Amino acid sequence: MQAVQHLEIRDEKVFIVGTALKAEIVAAGHVLAGMSVEAVAAHYHISLADVYAALTYFYDNREAIERKFAEAEAYVRDAGIDADRKIAEMRERLRRESP
């Protein structure tokens, strides 16, 4: 049996190994959008272990990640975009697209 690394750091950001998927975005599919872990894995075409690694990263860094998401949301609102509507649309689209 061998340990497998699921996350890697590139340009000071954490990604799922071998992909362009940021761990925090993968985790947000479950934590913020309410998708099941299996649906997140299917949506992004990654393994369950990749999703759980992303969730571990999220929970280990939750405060900083949530602050970053809040800053991005404030930026969108300041730009005059209805962030709540866009976020709701994104969550609904993710739910529809998940198996």
Summarize the confidence of residues 5-32 as an average pLDDT. Answer: 94
Residue 2 lies in a domain: no
How does pLDDT run across 42-92, given as a tens digit for each residue? 999 999 999 999 999 999 999 998 888 888 888 878 888 776 777 777 677
Domain span at residue 46? 7-97
Q: How many domains does the chain have?
A: 1
Place of tokens 């198996």: 99
**Residue 32 binned pLDDT confidence (cut-offs 50, 70, 90):** confident
Residue 16's DSSP bridge partners are 7
Q: Which helix (H) or strand (E) holds 55?
A: helix 48-60
Separation CA 76–CA 10 (nearest Å): 26
Q: What is the pTM of this model?
A: 0.77
Distance in angstroms (rounded) separating the CA atoms of residues 99 and 80: 33
Helices (H) and strands (E) counted in the chain, each on its own, are 5, 2
CA distance 99 to 92: 13
Q: How confident is the model at residue 95 (pLDDT cuts 50, 70, 90)?
A: low
